Amino acid sequence: MLLSSLRTTLLYGCRNVTKGFQHSTRSPQPRQWLVKRGQSTITVEAGASSARVAATVPNVATNRTVESGLSMVDWHLVREMKPPQGQLEWEAEFSKYQQYPEFKIMNHDMTLPEFNGAIVCGEAGWTCVHPPHRLLLEERILHSLHEGKSAWTLWICLLPGTSGWYMVKSGLEEKPESHDIPRVSQYRLSAHLGSALLLYSASLWTALTLLLPIHKVAETKNLTQLRRFAKGTGGIVFLTALSGAFVAGLDAGLVYNSFPKMGERWIPDDVLAFSPTLKNFFENPTTVQFDHRILAISSLTAITGLYLFSRRMLLPRRAKIAINLLTAMAYGQVALGISTLLLYVPTPLAAIHQSGSVALLSLAIWVLAELRKMPK
């Protein structure tokens, strides 16, 4: 469960970030970011051919040395994975990494100790959370097998692992025509985050329903409505998190760094610049950032509504606490998102913002577990 979400987090914690270009004047035309590498500054050209704007900014990508995520290039889903043992194995692992675009383009001056440090940094974090992850996972598997849902269980357990590998692979592929810095595909990142969050949510739900006794409360119309409202709210939070993966995958947090307006406008000119229209929602950084804002504000509004609605009702104390914490977390998460944006996506803040979404989703699941119905 946490394997996948943690791996995603590690892409933040230790990855070579490509962020650092900043701009305030926006071109209405579709933009092509052209990043010239191999130097301590990069030139970013924006706009269609007739009106190019160029700015030279520090090249964070080549200035940063520590990274992970794409540095373990040889992954085996079935065979046991263990870190390289001894000098010879580390050298072999490093020479495999040297064949890939991330090394060739961004890290050509990386040394073996730096490579070693990057992997240890990435993998150590995973090892620390592994035991709790396994406990929850095994509980989920046993419970579902017991209920005869083995196909579903197997599927939900395999999905984050396979999508994780598929995602990393997209960052390793050679793209001779591309001027872009190697990064994973936004589609695969969101599929991976989505499946990891699904597995996490299913595990947490199972654990909470086993641990928390159902409240014996009168089934009123208001309670039924509150329950429906809470389910819908959980769904919007999930969608907001998924849209966040598109923002991260496209580095769309760097296209407009103002809030609440995007540049000078509420709805930017280039929001539907790509054709066909549908493509904008997945590939146009402006639209992807715009969608994430809309979904985030919808989540906040829904959670605030849930809070206000629940205040009029007599609910068990634990349910009240869960709703209050969910509301507080929602405001905290939105504040984190806005700070991430205004500060041009510093990696530690982006990582806290990502973890915040897991906390928010967990609280939404807790609320649902507190409000669940007595089985007939």
What minimum distance in Å lies between the beta carbon of 310 and ligand HEM?
A: 18
What minimum distance in Å lies between the beta carbon of 98 and ligand HEM?
A: 27
Q: What is the side-by-side order of every strand in the sheet holding 41-46?
A: 34-35, 41-46, 53-58
What minimum distance in Å lies between the beta carbon of 24 and ligand HEM?
A: 16
* Long-range CB pairs of 264-272, under 8 A, 24+ apart, other chains included: 264/26, 268/26, 269/26, 269/28, 270/26, 270/27, 270/28, 270/29, 270/30, 270/31
What minimum distance in Å lies between the beta carbon of 199 and ligand HEM?
A: 15
Nearer to ligand HEM, 141 or 341 (CB): 341
Q: What is the DSSP string of 257-292?
A: --SSSBTTBSS-GGGG-SSSHHHHHHH-HHHHHHHH
C-alpha–C-alpha distance, residues 47 and 61, integer Å: 22
What minimum distance in Å lies between the beta carbon of 289 and ligand HEM?
A: 7
Nearer to ligand HEM, 140 or 353 (CB): 353
C-alpha–C-alpha distance, residues 169 and 253, integer Å: 23
C-alpha–C-alpha distance, residues 151 and 162, integer Å: 16
Nearer to ligand HEM, 181 or 189 (CB): 189
Give every CB contact of residue 364 below 8 A, 6+ residues apart in sequence.
230, 233, 234, 237, 326
Nearer to ligand HEM, 156 or 350 (CB): 350
What minimum distance in Å lies between the beta carbon of 373 and ligand HEM?
A: 26
Backbone angles phi, psi at 42, to 5 degrees: -120, 150
Nearer to ligand HEM, 90 or 126 (CB): 126
As a whole number of Å, the CA-based R_g of the chain is 22
What minimum distance in Å lies between the beta carbon of 340 and ligand HEM?
A: 5
Nearer to ligand HEM, 144 or 240 (CB): 240
The answer to whether the peptide bond before residue 276 is cis (omega within 30 degrees of 0) is yes
Residues that bind ligand HEM (CB under 6 A): 8, 189, 193, 237, 240-241, 244-245, 247-248, 251, 253, 259, 292-293, 296, 299, 330, 333-334, 337-338, 340-341, 345, 350, 353-354, 357, 360
Nearer to ligand HEM, 140 or 293 (CB): 293
Backbone angles phi, psi at 3, to 5 degrees: -50, -55
